[in-house]
Copies of this chain bind each other. A is one copy, B any other.
């Protein structure tokens, strides 16, 4: 009896399996989920730091003060290698593709807003000499670098800038730098190959101490109330792009070296 019950159970089981695979043929196509569930990320600096960098670029990391010590080498390699240049280039391509879809009114009202540091100009020579963001920010030392007015252009941004001008966009430069740095900033921009911007907007006395996201939103809002349509905005900080009076399309240029709220 026992063996007959076993055989009949086996038969039913096989029948069940057969009918399942007939009615739901998809099942066999799907392999097991690939998650290892390992905690590799805790031990593997390369893995951790790539994920940390993605978290920073997507704003998932929120506010942060300094790059994690274990990521110093990765950030250096990233900034000096092909990846930073490639990432910037692809973003400039997407910016350009979008810009070409904009119907330019021809009255100068179609605007594009650029941030300056790590967007139009690269302070990489400075940060290379200061641990790529792993050292605490030293304002005096950075201001000395700014006064040199020798920051090179980000090549992808320079190409985009010129293309936007040819397309007929009115270019606004909106920077967290202060009014007293106007001359050296203009000098540096010209040195790096930029020219013919409509207006260079710097923090004046009333803007001191405001979070960048507030100051920049207020200034974009002023542009809108003056009749400009802000189609695109390019910046390396989320505080360049979010807030209010935001552009129709925003382009986040990579910067794993520092965060400005």
Contact = CB atoms under 8 A, between A and B. Distances in A.
Interface string A34-48: 111110110010011
A171 interface: no
Nearest to A61: B94
A19 to B, nearest CB: 15
A79 B34 contact: yes
Interface stretch (A9-17, A52-60, A109-117, A195-203): A52-60
A34 B148 contact: no
Contact of A51 (B33, B83, B129): B83
Contacts of A24: 148
A47 B94 contact: no
Nearest to A85: B35
B55 A91 contact: yes
A17 to B, nearest CB: 15
Contact of A57 (B37, B48, B57): B57
Q: Which of A94, A124, A145 has the most CB of B within 10 A?
A: A94
A94 B60 contact: yes
A58 B57 contact: yes
A90 B51 contact: yes
A31 B125 contact: yes
Interface stretch (A175-183, A209-217, A248-256): A248-256
A35 B155 contact: yes
Contact of A254 (B52, B54, B61, B126): B54
Contacts of A27: 148, 150
A96 to B, nearest CB: 12
A6 interface: no
A60 B152 contact: no
Count chain B CB atoms within 10 A of each CB in A41, A57, A95, A128 and give the residue with the most. Answer: A41
A107 interface: no
A222 interface: no
Interface of A: 24, 26-27, 29-38, 40-41, 44, 47-48, 50-52, 54-55, 57-62, 79-80, 82-83, 85-87, 89-91, 94-95, 98, 122, 124-126, 128-129, 144-145, 148, 150, 152, 154-155, 249-252, 254
Given A47-B86, A57-B57, A60-B251, 16 more contacts: A24-B148, A27-B148, A33-B152, A35-B122, A35-B154, A36-B82, A38-B85, A40-B86, A47-B82, A48-B86, A54-B54, A54-B90, A58-B58, A59-B252, A60-B90, A60-B94
